[in-house]
Amino acid sequence: MACLCITLLATAAAQAQSGPVNDQIAQHEQKLAAARESRSMKEEATELNVLGFLYRQAGKMQKALDCLNEALSIEQNGSNHAAQAMTENTMGRVYTDLGQEEKALALFNQALPVWRSLAPK
């Protein structure tokens, strides 16, 4: 699952660089609506994560945090610790961009044990 999450964010990053971010945001807003309609919490959290990443790229930090907080809430109710760690990392990057290094560090420190547990031994 960690690979899937990382792959989705890498895809979003590539798309953000290859086309207008607002077009990508619109596309993923539609995917989010479809995930909500189908009641797929996993897909909803994934799309919220991608949107958080894209909104950060667009400089819309509050919108990014709104999406990421919503994703984190979904992930905390499940058992996908890798997705939760990925969300915390992205949130940390937003807080870094906002100059709120203490909040960023707290999020990075929350995610670190999960990343360490996923690393090959």
Per-residue pLDDT band for 1 (boundaries 50, 70, 90) equals very low
CATH code of the domain occupying 2-118: 1.25.40.10
For residues 16-54, one letter each, b for 16 or more C-beta atoms within 10 angstroms of the residue's C-beta and e for the rest, the string is beeeebeebbebbeebbeebeeeeeeeebbbbbbbbbbb
Cut 0.85: pTM above it: no
Asked whether the predicted pLDDT for residue 31 surpasses 80, the reply is yes
Return the domain boundaries, the chain.
2-118
pLDDT in tens, 44-85: 999 999 999 999 999 999 999 999 999 999 998 887 888 999
